[in-house]
Amino acid sequence: MRLKDIGEFGLIKRFQKKIKINSSVVKGSGDDCAVLKFNKSSYQLFTCDMIVEGVDFFKTADLRLVGRKALAVSISDIAACGGTPQHAVVALGLSGNMQVHQIDRLAKGLLDLAGKFNINIVGGDISASSKLIIDVSMLGVVQKNKLCLRQGARAGDLIMVTGDFGGAIKGKHLKFTPRLKEAQFLVNNFKINAMIDVSDGLVADLGHILKQSSVGAVLYASLIPLSKQAQGIEEALCSGEEFELLFTASRDQADKIIQSAKYHFKVIGEILPEAFGLRLINSKNEYSKLKFQGYRHF
């Protein structure tokens, strides 16, 4: 049996069966961040993300933007859990043929974003590699009553998003701004039942919420915000790399969020009982079943 036969998430499940955790862990593998006991009022959040040349960015990409993305994806994970990022370590896989000024440019993108979000870079590691690899591990904190996970969605919730979808590979995947301010506005003022950042695709990441919450959902094609670069609704549903927030809240809370007008949040669907599965309603009010398609490494 080969890795591509079981796929990325099959491998993750294989690891999860073998991992043992103790009482210091509130939430382990399976969410945007691990959640760890910290103090009376807060949890510690812990996440890591690796980006690899040829997979997450092209070799010709501006290294300032590559460095920026390496940190931004972890900030987005912290945001999706309702937390605040604080500290990070950065591991680099570098070729000896790289020019020093190229590495300086990579560092500039990473450090500039760290400064913008008040994140301390506190260490890391360097190793030889034929391809550029950047791995960021990040710590954050979240107040216990504001923690958001993937498992809290309830039938009757409305599904909401920030931003637009589709065509992110044409530039947004390197230039996006993590939705930290939006996430903190949400958890500080409303009851958010479940939240995730969209990295693998709208349908795929909504699927994580549905599976962990044991619910179904309907999406309305006419309500899904398409980017100018999107080639259509199918790409917007499956392409990924937008790093927007997708979250669910009760109708009452969703109405208040929309009325607040602080940020531009959009309703795109509704949470339904699990037996409904996941379906899309088109402009003709026709239902179609959706598979949990999105980006997969294998």
pLDDT in tens, 45-79: 999 999 999 999 999 999 999 999 999 999 999 99
More confident residue, 9 or 60: 60
Q: For the chain, which domains are there?
A: 3-145 (3.30.1330.10), 148-289 (3.90.650.10)
Tell me what the mean pLDDT of segment 123-134 comes to. 97
pLDDT reported for residue 298: 43
Q: Is the pLDDT of residue 84 over 80?
A: yes
Instruction: Identify the CA nearest to 161 among candidates 117, 222, 208, 223.
Output: 223
Q: How far is 263 from 102, CA to CA, in rounded Å? A: 37
Q: Is the pLDDT of residue 206 over 50?
A: yes
The one-letter code for the residue type at 171 is G
Pairing type for strands 42-52 and 158-162 reads unpaired
Q: How far is 265 from 53, CA to CA, in rounded Å? A: 33
| Maximum C-alpha span of the chain | 58
Token digits for 238? 């499956």
Q: Is the pLDDT of residue 88 over 50?
A: yes
Helix/strand/coil for 32: coil
Tell me what the mean pLDDT of segment 146-154 comes to. 97
Ranges 65-79, 211-225, 281-295: which has the least confidence:
281-295
- Using 50, 70 and 90 to split pLDDT, how confident is the model at 285? confident
**CA of 144: how far to CAs of 140, 141, 148, 188, in Å?**
13, 9, 9, 12
- Using 50, 70 and 90 to split pLDDT, how confident is the model at 13? confident
